[in-house]
A and B are shown apart, each in its own frame.
Chain A
Amino acid sequence: MSNILEVKDLNMQYKTSEGFVKAIQDVSFDIPEKASFGLVGESGCGKTSVAMSLLQLQSDNAEITSGSIVFDGTDIVQLSEQDLRKVRWFGISIVFQGAMNAWNPVIKIGEQIREAIREHYPENSKDQNTEIILDLFNLVGLDQTVIERYPHELSGGMKQRAVIALALSCQPKLIIADEPTTALDVVIQDQILKEIRKIQNKLGLSLLYISHDIAVIAEMTDLMAVMYAGRIVEIGKTTDLFSNPKHTYTKMLLESTPSITGDRKTLKSLEGEPPSLIDFQEACSFSSRCPSPTKECKDGSISMKLIELEDGHKVDQCCYRCLNE
């Protein structure tokens, strides 16, 4: 199976009045076709920046300084704006957090989806587009009357399903879902997540699922990467990372998530705050919060780099050395 997406050594920084903020540092990962890939991390770790860079939607003061993003064989970092438009929505589409705000409140839902389809398939007739929309709604579990509704007439769950329909409208090969269910009730969330999985299997799509909630990542993804302060610290099969986490941060994440199953265990927590992304250090960016940092972690004599363990399970080398010495 080939990879639909190959990100290699991606580096991105934002220019601010106080200096350059290195939002993404040396990030590399591959998403195979039809696979579901999770990106986990807390606020400020860079996961949303990664999502934006995949669609080349980063803000004006952001700059990709090096690296490549190869989607379906083409490096999209090098593409012109015109060629990019073909990738966006056709190749890669995105379901954002906060679907409530994604819709124009004064235009009917059907019309807004139609607009997107028209942009990409200008030769289609109106009836053809209606067919497409009905098919999509069927897929996401929406009634056809929703086409004539305004956004405020729909519940949060329905709006989010409509956003998914919108994302699917041009038959992309990869869907990015960036915290798509955070604002929703847990019952609705469950339904939506099941829908996404069902659609993914049915249409043979790849999914990049971004979240801070590792429980959802556990259920939704086959592969996952843990991000901290702009870098990937551990990456591999979801089952491997959960049963055998190798990085201290991954371990802490797993140990600090309360669950309704199993024993009511005592949970551990992390002290401190994520580091500032402005100053570049050689030392491990996690060392300030690590419960047992070694001398090498802090003085930077080991630089941060992913090394491969077995079967695609990679971890940042400092932590690996630390835990296995």
Chain B
Amino acid sequence: MNKNIIEIENLKTYFESSSGLFNRNKIITKAVDGISFDLEFGKSLGIVGQSGCGKTTTARTITMLEEKTSGDIRYFNESTNEMISLDGLDEGEIKNFRRNVQMIFQDPYEAMNPRWMIKDTILEPLSIHNIGTEEDRDIAVYEMLKTVGLTPPENYLNRYPHELSGGQRQRVAIARALVMKPKFIICDEPTSMLDVSIRISIMDLMINLAKDLDVSYLYITHDLAVARYMCERIAVMYNGKIVEIAETEELLKNPIHPYTKRLISSIPVPDPKYVRKVYEVTQKDLEQIYSLDENDTLFDTGNNHYVATHKVEGLI
């Protein structure tokens, strides 16, 4: 029985843009510059980083919205019971992959077709993959609305996105993501556009559903506190690379990489009496190399805690 649902190895996604007359100057943006991680069944991994670090591009590359430049993405194929690379898959196999991967976006309104009713939005995955009869699908949609807490479902089936609140829309997005019972959902900052008081209800919903339906999350956020709440393991990304990856509490207690230390030091704490633990990070620290072999991207410090081994520049 395989442990991992997704294995990413040395993934790189570079974007090319040209400027100058006759497209002579090529500018290469290394959005994702060699990252590797595994995601286990039923577990959740958080990717934390600031804007521009490449976390969204990572999500888009794994879901094949963007084309990867190099590296390997492997997923667990149920029928063959082994990890298969996404390279060279034919259309049918790719469609099979897509049955098991879904995504929840940051903006709940933009993630739904404004001309479609709620029920059509949730139905879409089922009709694309031709699952069940029409009656089966209608029942599935109805049940899903109940599951995400939009009850009574009759009140929501025929509504349009603009008639719902932000929290309700995000629940619809979750319903849609789960209706095909995928193995793995990528969440791109799903609560950052919601009011503070309802964020927890959405996050709790996602946690409970993960347990009930045995789904893994790849949770992308810039907020380390949210990642702590949602994820068992956290990877910290900077400038297209993963600089540190460890279990959540371990990462917060013993950060090793200077960037992680910097990040943790900067987060405000909702307790006026608390004096933040500040990690002093000097410029010299930022240039430290942990191992002589610069080709290794992650160095195992034991304890399932990996740290990047290459130089990190320009953090200030």
Contact = CB atoms under 8 A, between A and B. Distances in A.
Contacts of B228: 258-260, 264
Contacts of A213: 196, 268
Contact of A261 (B197, B262, B274): B274
A263 to B, nearest CB: 10
B272 A270 contact: no
A254 B196 CA distance: 10
Interface stretch (A25-33, A85-93, A187-195, A317-325): A187-195
A242 B271 CA distance: 7
A77 interface: no
A186 B274 contact: no
Contacts of B66: none
A269 B229 contact: no
Interface stretch (B73-81, B121-129, B132-140, B199-207): B199-207
Given A186-B50, A257-B196, A215 B204 contact: no
Nearest to A255: B200
B303 to A, nearest CB: 19
A311 interface: no
B266 A268 contact: no
Contacts of B270: 214-215, 218, 242, 254, 257, 259
Nearest to A242: B272
Contacts of B265: 190
A56 B222 CA distance: 36
A106 B249 CA distance: 48
B271 A261 contact: yes
Nearest to A156: B51
B196 A187 contact: no
Interface in A243-265: 243, 252-254, 256-262, 264
Contacts, number: 109
A273 interface: yes
Contacts of B167: 273
Interface string A188-206: 0111010000000000000
A81 interface: no
A140 to B, nearest CB: 16
A238 interface: yes
B224 interface: yes
Interface residues of A, number: 38
B288 interface: no
Interface in B264-281: 264-274
Contact of B222 (A186, A190, A214, A216): A186
Interface residues of B, number: 35
A274 B264 CA distance: 33
Contacts of A191: 266
A42 B195 CA distance: 6
A288 B50 CA distance: 37
B252 interface: yes
B266 A43 contact: no
B226 interface: yes
Given A215-B270, A242-B271, A259-B270, A185 B222 contact: yes
A216 B223 CA distance: 13
Contacts of A270: 197-198, 201
B203 to A, nearest CB: 8
Contacts of B263: 186-187
Nearest to B204: A269
A269 B268 contact: no
Contact of B268 (A193, A212, A238, A252): A193
B197 A253 contact: yes
A191 B284 CA distance: 20
Nearest to A221: B272
Interface string B211-228: 000000000001111101
Query: What 4 A-B pairs are tightest by C-beta distance, nearest first?
Result: A269-B200, A190-B266, A269-B201, A270-B197
Interface of A: 42-43, 185-187, 189-191, 193, 212-216, 218-219, 238-239, 242-243, 252-254, 256-262, 264, 267-271, 273-274
26 contacts: A185-B50, A186-B222, A186-B266, A187-B50, A190-B267, A190-B268, A191-B266, A212-B195, A214-B270, A215-B225, A215-B267, A218-B271, A218-B272, A219-B268, A219-B269, A219-B272, A243-B273, A254-B270, A256-B197, A258-B225, A259-B269, A259-B271, A260-B252, A269-B201, A270-B197, A270-B198
